[in-house]
Chain A
């Protein structure tokens, strides 16, 4: 609770704390991304990083009360799903050629 200041409202304090927790939790998938034993582990870690980015942008929507950023969340979620699918297909083709 070290981020709570008295000249902000409860909602702003809560969304700033949530931003701090989400940014901290970005470290764990990065560890898995660098140290993952196989390539599918790294794809899963990238998926989790994208999910955390979606959460961070939604927290920013609540903090700044700007609803235009929700379109960005929609684009990022589409990119997340089809990106990991395309990487998996590429991996499959690469191992089939071997």
Chain B
């Protein structure tokens, strides 16, 4: 029974990652692409970590997956924010050099 739930969660996360990858090609804006990478892919890896914990039910696995989840949820938006700020600064510097 638990294996069927884990399999359904794995398939759901694979479809979510596929949707995120399609969004990276289809969106025309840089910030829309960032939103896809930060939210949808983090959601997919969250589903996969829940599936791993349901399969093994071990406290070592739980500790490592809580660490991975915190890195992906709290640190990945910071790096995306840095990229957004740098892209704005580059755009501004280009406009100033053109004038």
A, B co-complexed: yes
Flag if A58 contacts B45 (CB, 8 Å). Answer: yes
From A38, A71, A77, A84, B71 is in contact (CB under 8 Å) with: A77
A residues contacting the other copy or chain, number (CB 8 A): 56
Contact B37 A38 (CB under 8 A): no
Interface string of A60-75 (1 = CB under 8 A from B): 0110010100110110
| Beta-carbon contact of A51 and B41 below 8 Å | yes
* Residue ranges of B at the interface with A (Cβ–Cβ < 8 Å): 3-4, 6-8, 10-11, 13-15, 17-18, 20-22, 24-25, 30, 33-34, 36-37, 41-42, 44-45, 48-49, 51-52, 55-56, 58, 60-61, 64-65, 67-68, 71-72, 75-76, 78-80, 82-84, 86-87, 89-90, 93, 97
> A residues within 8 Å of B by Cβ?
9-11, 13-15, 17-19, 21-22, 24-29, 31-32, 38-41, 43-45, 47-48, 51-52, 54-55, 58-59, 61-62, 65, 67, 70-71, 73-74, 77-78, 80-82, 84-85, 88-89, 91-92, 95-96, 98
